[in-house]
Chain A
């Protein structure tokens, strides 16, 4: 153990009592395989196969196949099985303390997508929280983000710039419904591109009240099935198969993942209008680049103010910033007098490189 790993935490419990903790290693280290807890001997969202992996949520940049043992929230388990194939998975409800090699671990809702968890890690009185991906606005499906007091908070920063400020969900939903109705009135199909896990289910919630037939791409259908089987109540949808032809789609709503745009698959819905649902749509250039007729800045991540509020609510003394605008966001936090540091992870990379609009 090198001397560089020694850290001193001064914790003020009340006005006149000072506790001094001396640690020889941080509770969570940033390794080339992912976030690692040396005392508990487990990884959080590792991007290479390991022995024990705690998974925050089932998005592909956080949940990689090949590890020996997985641990995640109960609602994430069916999604992991569907995405990664058969693996050994232990699941847990919210807030239940588990002890792994003497380290206490519990899962708390992050509000990102269904089953998405923040990981709370406690060892000898020191508490770290790894946010995974999170959203502070309660979307009504994913569970409400729970602020947790901790010493060290590892936060994402996907939308860590002040230009990203979301409108309230109900007003985005309302614009989406208006847009769909306008298209139906013009005898056009309304295609909405939304990430198949998380975003797609929210778009469904938004549009179900319209009582217009909703068709979904196979990738979204798979997620829909897994969630329905796990007991999540979702609106009724129909699966699009190769047997369906143009004549099946008249004045309908089509839900597809972002990769579908520009493919020949989309042609059978002509005439149509295309919407992209993603926080990146906040910026006009992204809308145009995706050849969308309209963009809805609907995100599963916290916006700028959401990030700042979440960080404040943890009362953390030290913030590690990952996943997104980490350099800029950590610099801003430092400007504000917080102890912050950027950490480069593999999260977001794969999606960002292949498709600018996914999250």
Chain B
């Protein structure tokens, strides 16, 4: 645990990617194989389920430290993270130095305790609290226990470090650690070995991701080298068919095959040895419906007939990564697309479409077509170089996303809450309102979009103007006006104002505007 805690400390303090990779590499060098597997699992989001609810955790900690629960809550608001709060509250036993066990011992013990009674769980927790010496070790333990381990390290860095350690190609490593595997059952050698007999047929490829376009289109050179596609507002998915079984993966590496029964026919007809990249879109025929309709389906266990008829999904394919069992990611996009076109045409299944390429002769023309994105139910364009291979992860240069300008509205800040994690202790989570007659109606929460200096200014304003003194939320005088940007807007019965917006964020601080000048609820509804 000590080595892993040191790694976590290094990852969270250094800002330089080379140092992060080095820290990971050094960890893999010293960690035993079971710990390596668990570390990879944790960094790829395969964390064990929580053993103890956060309510129990808080109660037991307050008892143990002899502090009132409200004070523990205040501490948590300041720290921004419960596991860290508890790690800081537990008094250190400086007289006895314990040696902590390897990481997997704690994880496996916690998993074995999942069905144990509360007393057994509590006994183990107290024992660990007393024996883990550093606050980082206690922090990691609390994270594992509460099922909240979300310490971010980008997949690319993890892959680089593993590649250096195992002396294998990064693309190979990426493929190995993607998909369905259970850290409790797999050994390090089985994991970093895709050709082993036990290799999983469901294994997806890492998604190729695009950066937002930064410069003018002219900088991209000759427009004839580029392919333009609509950027669909759906769920990015990888569709795999191997050994007569189909798998649908989301970009978050979640297996979502079962969620879309209308794709079953497609799964059946698709030949073996195929991997497609595309978008799951709610659509009538090839005409996409708003994302909000798809959203109503996500997270539901039971898909009713009504949902199936209101928001039927289609798979809009835009790339093919494996064909006849062969990895063809190194083929040029042009060639991959030809294969894809012939496959889609020959299959002739009504739920599979090819995401059309937009024909244009020069950039100026493309700019004109871009203006029709919303009318085409798209978020804008994807621009892809015709000669490009299918890259692993996010890479600059050959793929760009070119989104439509967001909707914007001027709103006033009315509530503030302290942020968590990176921004704990500062007021960074805001609720904004528009005018409705002489009332203010909250309509959006936004967490990002301000510079550090602006955050400090708003934080100081909140601290000076807050009504409450305790608890997480502060009501402030409606005085600061911000221009909010968002991607979509739809009616919602779950929101007080009757409207929900997608991806709201702070576009800029309108210091030039007074609260009387903000937009109205009617302005907002006019965007529907």
Contacts and interface: CB of A to CB of B under 8 A. Distances in A.
Interface of A: 161-165, 282-289, 291-295, 325, 327-328, 331-332, 335, 352-354, 356
Interface stretch (B47-55, B73-81, B442-450): B73-81
Contacts of A331: 70, 470
B469 A285 contact: no
A278 B469 CA distance: 25
Interface of B: 12-15, 65, 67-68, 70-71, 74-75, 78-81, 84-85, 88-89, 91, 421-426, 452, 456-457, 459-460, 463, 469-470
Given A328-B71, A332-B68, A332-B71, A288 B12 contact: yes
20 contacts: A161-B75, A162-B67, A162-B71, A163-B79, A163-B89, A283-B84, A283-B88, A283-B425, A284-B12, A284-B81, A284-B424, A286-B425, A289-B423, A292-B13, A293-B14, A294-B13, A325-B74, A327-B470, A328-B470, A332-B71
A162 B422 contact: no
Contacts of A293: 13-15
Contacts of B65: 162
B470 A283 contact: no
Nearest to A327: B469
A132 B78 CA distance: 24
Contact of A353 (B74, B85, B88, B460): B460
Contacts of A353: 456-457, 459-460
Given A289-B452, A328-B470, 14 more contacts: A164-B88, A283-B79, A284-B81, A284-B84, A284-B424, A285-B80, A286-B424, A289-B422, A294-B13, A328-B74, A331-B70, A352-B463, A356-B426, A356-B456
Contacts of A163: 75, 78-79, 85, 88-89
B126 to A, nearest CB: 18
Contact of A161 (B12, B13, B78): B78
Main secondary structure of the interface of B (DSSP, over half): helix
A354 B459 CA distance: 10
B13 A335 contact: no
Residue from B68, B74, B84 whose CB has the most chain A CB atoms within 10 Å: B74
Nearest 10 interchain pairs by C-beta: A285-B424, A163-B88, A353-B460, A327-B469, A163-B75, A328-B74, A161-B75, A283-B79, A288-B422, A285-B80
A192 to B, nearest CB: 15
Contacts of B463: 352
A235 B463 CA distance: 40
B456 A354 contact: yes
A289 B12 CA distance: 11
A283 B421 CA distance: 10
Nearest to A168: B94
A287 B68 contact: no
A335 B470 contact: no
B79 A285 contact: yes
A287 B423 CA distance: 10
Contacts of A286: 424-425
B370 to A, nearest CB: 37
Nearest to A292: B13
Contact of A291 (B15, B423, B425, B456): B15
A283 B15 contact: no
Nearest to A335: B68
A163 B91 CA distance: 10
Nearest to B8: A284
A349 B421 CA distance: 24
Interface centre among B68, B71, B81 (most CB of A within 10 A): B71
Contacts of A287: 12-13
A285 B422 contact: yes
A39 B74 CA distance: 39
B15 to A, nearest CB: 6
Name the residue among A161, A163, A353 with the largest chain B CB count within 10 angstroms: A163
A336 B302 CA distance: 53
Nearest to A332: B71
B80 A162 contact: no
Contacts of A354: 456
Contacts of B84: 283-284
Contact of A295 (B13, B15, B80): B13
Contacts of A162: 65, 67, 71, 75, 89
A283 B81 CA distance: 10
A151 B459 CA distance: 36
A307 B252 CA distance: 47
B72 to A, nearest CB: 8
Nearest to B424: A285
Contacts of B68: 332, 335
Contacts of A335: 68
Nearest to B74: A328
Given A288-B13, A335-B68, A283 B89 contact: no
Given A162-B75, A163-B79, A285 B425 contact: yes
Contacts of A283: 78-80, 84, 88, 424-425
Contacts of B425: 283, 285-286, 356
Contacts of A165: 88, 91
Nearest to A291: B15
Contacts of B89: 162-163
A345 to B, nearest CB: 13
Contacts of B422: 285, 288-289
Contacts of A325: 74
Nearest to A280: B425
B95 to A, nearest CB: 13
Given A162-B75, A328-B470, A353-B456, A282 B13 contact: no
B12 to A, nearest CB: 6
Nearest to A305: B91
A288 B14 CA distance: 8
Nearest to A355: B456
A150 to B, nearest CB: 26
Nearest to A273: B14
A37 B455 CA distance: 38
A228 B75 CA distance: 40
A110 B467 CA distance: 33
A284 B14 CA distance: 12
Nearest to B421: A285
A165 B75 CA distance: 13
A345 B272 CA distance: 73
Contacts of B469: 327-328
A328 B471 CA distance: 10
A315 B415 CA distance: 41
A32 to B, nearest CB: 15
Contact of A285 (B15, B74, B423): B423
A286 B418 CA distance: 13
User: Which one of A162, A165, A284, A292 has the highest number of Cβ atoms from chain B below 10 Å of its Cβ?
Assistant: A284
B467 to A, nearest CB: 12
Contacts of A284: 12, 81, 84, 424
Contacts of B80: 283, 285
Nearest to A328: B74
Nearest to A163: B88
Contacts of A285: 79-81, 421-425
Contacts of A295: 13
A264 B84 CA distance: 33
B450 to A, nearest CB: 13
Contacts of B456: 353-354, 356
A190 to B, nearest CB: 14
A284 B84 CA distance: 8
Contacts of A292: 13
Nearest to B459: A353
A328 B15 CA distance: 34
Contacts of B452: 289
